[in-house]
Amino acid sequence: MRFTMSSIWRNHASRLAEFINNNNEVQAHLYLEQLMLFPLDIQDKIIDDISHLSHCTNDAIANIIGHYSVSEVK
């Protein structure tokens, strides 16, 4: 089975949403830092963007993760 980048982001988004929905910001930060290797300032931006979503879906979260992943590579 071949995974696309968007399916990987959706998988990460699902896990991250679980932490945020359970008000576990520390675990969300650890997940972003250890698994996804985001620096602290980017972690804060991702979590802040997610908290402002009107519809917090895995696809919406995946788009945010993808945005910060791509913008950091440029």
Tens-of-pLDDT digits for all 74 residues of the chain? Answer: 444 557 888 888 999 999 988 999 899 888 888 877 888 899 899 999 999 999 889 899 998 988 888 654 44
DSSP state of 13: H
Q: Is residue 34 part of a domain?
A: yes
Q: Is residue 49 part of a domain?
A: yes
Q: What confidence score (pLDDT) does residue 74 get?
A: 44
Q: Is residue 4 part of a domain?
A: no
Q: Which domain holds residue 21?
A: 14-73
Could you give the number of structural domains in the chain? Answer: 1
How far apart are the C-alpha atoms of 18 and 46, rounded to whole Å?
A: 14
Q: Is residue 5 part of a domain?
A: no
Q: 20 and 47 in contact (C-beta within 8 Å)?
A: yes
